[in-house]
Amino acid sequence: MTSTTTPAPLLPNFVEGRWQTGTGPGLPLFDPVLGTELARVSSAGLNLPAAFAFAREQGGRALRALSYRERAALLSAMVNVLQANKDAYYAIATANSGTVTRDSAVDIDGGIFTLSTYARMGERLGEARCLLDGERIRLGKDPLFQSQHILTPTPGVALFINAFNFPSWGLWEKAAPALLSGVPVIIKPATATAWLTQRMVQDVVDAGVLPPGALSVVCGSSAGLMDCLQPFDVVSFTGSADTARIIRSHPAVAEHSVRCNIEADSLNSALLDPAAAEGSEAFNLLVSEVVREMTVKSGQKCTAIRRIFVPRALFDATAQAIAAKLAKVTVGNPRNEAVRMGSLVSREQADNVRAGLAQLKAEATVLFDGSAIPLVDADPKVAACVAPTLLGCTEPARADVLHRVEVFGPVATLMACDDEAQALELIARGEGSLVCSVYSADPAFIARASLALAPMHGRVHAISPDVASLHTGHGNVMPQSLHGGPGRAGGGEELGGLRALGFYHRRSAVQASTAALDDLAASGHAFQP
């Protein structure tokens, strides 16, 4: 990446209720298409313990003084602020993430939509201060003494350490349930794309819609952040499995039982009904969805389809149909309207994708390689553009790397299966993923496959001809549905409607007289996710 001679300005951090610029030269953020330096970030010199104490004490106290309905109103006010500034966010995303407008929308509008969904859900919780979890339970013969489980907001701070691919959605899908719960947020965006996160926080802070300490942003190095965590704090991490290991084994998590949510790598699958015929609706729906998943945000989506399982007899036909659509995908500068797929987030990511591809190729053949098609309006020596590649494997049972290595770019592998049982067994080799999509016109197959796939996925997305124009997309994360996955995917759980509030609340049993529990119930709302 080339840089201008004069370093770009440092983006200020917002901690302790004021804007503070870090010290030193900072880390540069680049335009991944033009190679120009856009801004710099530095967290050096910040008093992080004071920042956490301010958020915990001032932000937490102010938020917990409000009811769920009042906090929902804060989310609505934030939505208004963000909507009013959307043009600036799109400009930043084009420059810093290299995404075409349609892909930027997944991040920007997706984030604002999630925030507004939680505002609506929170409104329904009314003036309550806690959530009542289940019915009262008699503890003895006399019904006068009973147990009521309640959920109360944790009196700590929520630290979010986010990945580079969703600087907007990644913040708001977490901040919405946290703030609605009454828990202040400190966001540490990934350095490569920190600008959009920083700008959105700046707009919300400057609009004065949140109490001081409710929302802080630290851009730059993560050094020292985890050390500030205390027993009632929570940390939510999204990123690679390697960094996830560091987070999980940090003393704050190991020694203070800091609650930790991890969203990591995932080898998501698409499964075609073994009974589907070439050219059937189910077949065509799979082809379209695979192409969409490979190309939206250049495949830099944690939910993107990485492995495609089809009946052996349809392997060649599927490869040809996907390749024909991929051949029409124009790659290059997102500012050019002829471009359908922009760049990866950085040259470093482009190198990672090429290195990952080389690993996969040891076990797969190349069925489609878009790199021969010239880039539109972009210099291949500068731009972090990587064309889509479809790989194929006719003996996936013998593969290892294909089921283990996530290539975070426009890459997927088509795999031939002999029957339903083998397909399910091969999907399980991903050792836990965020989402699997199933393509079939047969409700019985969908139900059977869903039951088998559910234990290894956070979400099963079934696409049948009757929902062809209604379904929300394999890779789109809807706030109403769970996001997260077991095993390799990190074991985390996010969203799922009001279920998300659970992470930011503590569950306790209150054992008391009926009269005392009546008083308690007056300040609670039944928790019905």
- 271: tokens are 């499964």
d(CA 179, CA 168): 16
d(CA 77, CA 65): 18
302 noted as active-site residue = yes
Instruction: Check residue 239 for interaction with ligand NAP (CB under 6 A).
Output: yes
On the 0-12 / 13-18 / 19+ scale of CB atoms within 10 A, 180 is buried
Residues 293-312 that bind ligand NAP (CB under 6 A): 302
Least distance from ligand NAP to the Cβ atom of residue 276, Å = 29
Q: What is the x/- site pattern for ligand NAP, positions 460-499, by CB under 6 A?
A: -----------------------------xx---------
Least distance from ligand NAP to the Cβ atom of residue 170, Å = 7
**268 or 440: CB nearest ligand NAP:** 268
Least distance from ligand NAP to the Cβ atom of residue 263, Å = 3
Instruction: Check residue 197 for interaction with ligand NAP (CB under 6 A).
Output: no
User: Judged by CB under 6 A, which of 13, 191, 216, 440 binds ligand NAP?
Assistant: 191
User: Judged by CB under 6 A, which of 187, 434, 449, 452 binds ligand NAP?
Assistant: 434
Residues touching ligand NAP: how many (CB under 6 A)? 26
Among all chains, which residue has been given the structure tokens 């076990």? 363
Instruction: Check residue 424 for interaction with ligand NAP (CB under 6 A).
Output: no
Instruction: Check residue 263 for interaction with ligand NAP (CB under 6 A).
Output: yes
Q: Give the amino acid at 507.
A: R
Angle between helices 315-326 and 281-295 (to 10 degrees): 50
Measure Cα distances from 273 to 318, 362, 421, 446, 489 in Å: 13, 28, 11, 8, 25
User: Helices then strands (H, E): number in the chain?
Assistant: 15, 23
Say which DSSP state 58 is in: I
- 67: tokens are 């009811």
> Which H or E run contains 511?
strand 505-513
Measure Cα distances from 226 to 26, 233, 387, 406 in Å: 20, 10, 37, 26
User: Judged by CB under 6 A, which of 13, 117, 154, 165 binds ligand NAP?
Assistant: 165
d(CA 239, CA 490): 9
Instruction: Check residue 114 for interaction with ligand NAP (CB under 6 A).
Output: no
Q: What is the x/- site pattern for ligand NAP, positions 198-237, by CB under 6 A?
A: ------------------------x---x-----------
Least distance from ligand NAP to the Cβ atom of residue 4, Å = 21
Instruction: Check residue 246 for interaction with ligand NAP (CB under 6 A).
Output: yes
Instruction: Check residue 173 for interaction with ligand NAP (CB under 6 A).
Output: no
Least distance from ligand NAP to the Cβ atom of residue 198, Å = 13
Name, in order, each residue with C-beta under 8 angstroms of 485's C-beta and a sequence gap of 6 or more: 266, 432, 433, 434, 435, 456, 457, 458, 459, 491, 492
**66 or 405: CB nearest ligand NAP:** 405
Instruction: Check residue 85 for interaction with ligand NAP (CB under 6 A).
Output: no
Catalytic residue of the set 263, 293, 363, 493: 263
Sheet containing strand 411-417, edge to edge, reads: 365-369, 389-393, 411-417, 305-311, 268-272, 433-439, 457-463
Residue with smallest beta-carbon separation from ligand NAP: 239
Residues forming the site for ligand NAP (CB under 6 A): 161-166, 188, 190-191, 222, 226, 238-240, 243, 246, 263-266, 302, 406, 408, 434, 489-490
Known catalytic residues are 263, 302
